[in-house]
Amino acid sequence: MEISPSNDSCAYGQPGIFRGRLRFDNPRLADYSWPLCEIRGRKPGPRLCVSAGVHVNEVSSIEAAVRLQRMIDPETIQGSVSIIPLINQPAFYKYTELVCPIDGRNINFTFPGNRDGTFSEALCDSIMNEWCVDSDCYVDMHGGDLRENVSKFSIFQRTDDVELDALGRRMAMCFDAEIVMGLPAAHMEKSGRAPTAFARHNRLALMSEAGANGLLDEGSISFHLEGVLNIARTLGIIDAPLAPFLNARIPCDEYLWLDCPVDGEFHAEAEPGDRVTKGQRLGTISNLFGETLAEVAAPETGFLLWRMTHPTIPKGSPIGAVAVEETSVYR
């Protein structure tokens, strides 16, 4: 990595607050630099990496990454917190939904990436193996692109490694979430989200999700912010008790996507966070004459994790997802 400080910054790697730009070594990423804030205590300790803006319209999570920079005092911490508030630089000021405009890939499902691959693949590889190389935990914050509303939830990757599994669960529980999603171990076989790719290398990464429709809202901002601060407290970077929890933090272990069965207008009958039962109608699809074309039913009993808010949805596109509650934490 090549790191250049801004005028008001301490030197990189020194105790204090570093602000500046980062360039990754991979020549495929050479046209871009990333904003970096790194807060370092005088005592060595754990390293926490935090990012947002893989999806540039998920603004509450981006705002949380900005505010986090002002909420950690280098005089009182041990170790470091490193923050990249906007990962998808090519989409900045383009408001691109979900993908990176250079290669059309969704960065969120491209981990672990590939050094010799497309821009998004190279970026995922550099996030994992340059910026996060010595991290004890990586948190990527998301939620609420232009046409979606998500419940407050956190994600970790379940693994057969008992220790890593327990650690992932404990850190995901640091968020005051409605739902704590442990992705099924079957996800480990393919490329996907950061928590999955990191777990394949016995490393820890988490995601947090909160927000709706490309809007800033204080509840979602503080969900992300307090969750990350709780992780820093749990890791021992910040010496303070955890902020209190008000939500149920229901452990779930299945993430079921709902695809739209037919082109049309989706009218939802359930909202993110709602408990739903198997077979329950979650909404209908109608045409522009108001005729009902199809009904969408819950595939299992669980919770509506998120749903699309713009009614117009083509056949085969996702309209939402259902999380299935864990039957036993020991399963």
| Residues 129 and 281: beta-carbon distance below 8 Å | no
Rounded Cα gap, residues 1 and 36, in angstroms = 12
What string marks each residue from 39 to 78 as x (binds Zn ion by CB under 5 A) or -? ----------------x--x--------------------
Tell me whether residue 47 or residue 55 sits nearer to Zn ion (CB atom): 55
Q: Tokens standing for 148?
A: 């979606």
Closest contact distance (angstroms) between CB of 145 and Zn ion is 6
User: Which of 164, 247, 237 has its CA nearest to residue 208?
Assistant: 247
Tell me whether residue 97 or residue 265 sits nearer to Zn ion (CB atom): 97
In this chain, which residue has its C-beta nearest to Zn ion?
Answer: 142
Is residue 142 within the footprint of Zn ion (CB under 5 A)?
yes
Piece of the chain touching Zn ion by CB under 5 A; list 34-42, 138-146, 260-268, 282-290: 138-146
Rounded Cα gap, residues 165 and 157, in angstroms = 7
Q: Are strands 34-40 and 292-297 parallel, antiparallel or unpaired?
A: unpaired
Its sign, for the CA torsion 313, 211, 87, 321, is negative
- Residue 252, classed as helix, strand or coil, is strand
Closest contact distance (angstroms) between CB of 57 and Zn ion is 9
Is residue 147 within the footprint of Zn ion (CB under 5 A)?
no
Contacts of 268 (CB under 8 A, 6+ apart): 282, 283, 307, 320
Closest contact distance (angstroms) between CB of 73 and Zn ion is 30
Tell me whether residue 40 or residue 224 sits nearer to Zn ion (CB atom): 224
How many residues touch Zn ion (CB under 5 A)?
A: 3
Closest contact distance (angstroms) between CB of 35 and Zn ion is 18
Q: Which of the 8 DSSP states describes residue 187?
A: G
Closest contact distance (angstroms) between CB of 149 and Zn ion is 13
Closest contact distance (angstroms) between CB of 148 and Zn ion is 9
Is residue 193 within the footprint of Zn ion (CB under 5 A)?
no
Which residue bears the tokens 């497309």? 118
Q: How many Å is the Cα radius of gyration of the chain?
A: 20
Tell me whether residue 47 or residue 193 sits nearer to Zn ion (CB atom): 193
Q: Where on the chain is the footprint of Zn ion (CB under 5 A)?
A: 55, 58, 142
